[in-house]
Amino acid sequence: MPRRQTSRRGAKEINSVSNDEREHPRTLAGATVLQIVPALREEPAARTALNVAAALREIGARALVAAEDGPLVAELTGSGGEWVPLVNATVNPFQLRRGAQSLQRLIASERIDIVHAQSAGGAWIANMAAAHTSVLLVTTLPDVPPASRLRAYWEAGLARGDSVITPSNFAAAPMIARHKISRERLTIIPRSIDLTAFDPAAVDPARIAALRNAWRIVPAARILLVLGRVAPWNGQLIVPEIARIMLDGGMRGFVFVLAGEHRSHRKYARAVMEQAQNEGVRPLVRQTGHCRDMPAALAAADTVVVPAIEPPALGRVVAQAQAMGRPVVTSDIGILPEHVVAPPEMPEEVRTGWVAKPGDAKEFARALNDALSLDDAAYRTMAARARHFAEYMFAPHSAAAATHAVYSALLRRDL
């Protein structure tokens, strides 16, 4: 039966049924799904859309992606997906309305069953179009909650889907509070990572040796890797103090490698090294600049350290480190603690890392001492757990399957 449209999406109630009076299929096989992302460039939303589209084609569904042009168009069409040009990364109300009119026509002509908006502009367009059709609407919340009222207003459309996907509890919490999203409509699906590239078995030992040589690491030293731009929000200024506490506690044979671009914030980068000099740990803290081979950098590490003092947009380093079988010590901020298995949320026997209070050098030092004190057997066991956890949580096929489950549940519910 066709659904009576309501003001659920911010549109006026329409008492007459829409022109789109067909029933949706019972399963995804044979269904038509349109995803909306800003552009088909190598960005998280676009990569997710391509993974979902490829998996849809494998089960017999039709997969369309509406976006501005980009280098990923060829990959999409090569896997059987279809590209629909659509300008949606805009706040221009006239462009949004034109986009909604185009989408409404497309929904009717292509018999689209589900529209999945993964951008704020796309959500506005989809909500306007869906108000006059029987299409089912899925939205994905942004990775970072809006920081201003204007941004919150702009992203409000993402809270109005029949089903709402969020990459984390951190991203969802303020949207739930602000827009009263029911838990029944919400599904957490973490962003996926490339588990083929980030696979310890795929990293040639020569790549690891080359990095250790470039970083001037003596053979016996264990690397505590801090990946990411050397910048205030990433919290590297605490590293020298951590090193000092570890030394005072008797720990030896380690070196902190700060592998990330350090020229954009020169004053901060200098402050880190000055602090290392003041703490008497200058030889134990290295700034190496941007690393082009992140899998090899992670493979070279003994433990990965994420001392962020502000919530990161994605927090992928935590996921990538575990994919490489490396224990992680991360700040308890933003999305980061959701990406590691650690007490008290999980039992000790399934631990894959440690969580420390942001800016607390003592907590970080304590956790790193625990990590470096693992014997070989315990370290290998934790490394295997970390890899298995990453395969379960962050595999592209897992994210695609979870998204398909959201689509399927909507189709069943709409019967």
Residue 226 pLDDT greater than 70, yes or no = yes
Judgement on whether residues 320 and 229 belong to the same structural domain of the protein: yes
CA dihedral 344, 345, 351, 357 (to 10 degrees): -60
- pLDDT for residue 156: 84
SS3 48: helix
Please report, for the domain that includes residue 206, its CATH number: 3.40.50.2000
Q: What is the DSSP letter of 5?
A: P
- What is the spatial distance between Cα 65 and Cα 50, in angstroms, rounded to a whole number? 8
DSSP β-bridge partners for residue 286: 257
Are the C-beta atoms of 139 and 167 separated by less than 8 Å?
no
List the structure tokens of 189: 């699906």
CA atoms within 13 A on the CB side of 163: 23
Q: Note down the domain range covering 14.
A: 7-192+396-413
Judgement on whether residues 105 and 253 belong to the same structural domain of the protein: no
Judgement on whether residues 15 and 92 belong to the same structural domain of the protein: yes
* Residue 296 in domain: yes
* Residue 234 in domain: yes
Judgement on whether residues 155 and 215 belong to the same structural domain of the protein: no
DSSP β-bridge partners for residue 304: 225, 328
Residue 3: exposure state from Cβ atoms within 10 A (0-12, 13-18, ≥19):
middle
Judgement on whether residues 290 and 300 belong to the same structural domain of the protein: yes
* Residue 2 in domain: no
Judgement on whether residues 108 and 183 belong to the same structural domain of the protein: yes
Tens of pLDDT, residue by residue over 79-99, are 999 999 999 988 888 999 999
Tens of pLDDT, residue by residue over 353-378, are 999 999 999 999 999 999 999 999 99
Judgement on whether residues 232 and 352 belong to the same structural domain of the protein: yes
List the structure tokens of 402: 């979870």
Judgement on whether residues 92 and 215 belong to the same structural domain of the protein: no
> What is the number of domains present in the chain?
2
Judgement on whether residues 351 and 407 belong to the same structural domain of the protein: no
Judgement on whether residues 183 and 234 belong to the same structural domain of the protein: no
Q: DSSP letters of 65-89?
A: EEEE--TTHHHHHHTT-EEEE---S
Can you tell me the mean pLDDT for 389-404?
95
Judgement on whether residues 159 and 76 belong to the same structural domain of the protein: yes
> pTM of the entire structure?
0.87
Are the C-beta atoms of 356 and 367 separated by less than 8 Å?
yes
Can you tell me the mean pLDDT for 27-37?
95
Backbone angles phi, psi at 10, to 5 degrees: 90, 5
* Residue 282 in domain: yes
Backbone angles phi, psi at 287, to 5 degrees: -100, 115
Judgement on whether residues 175 and 278 belong to the same structural domain of the protein: no
- pLDDT for residue 26: 79
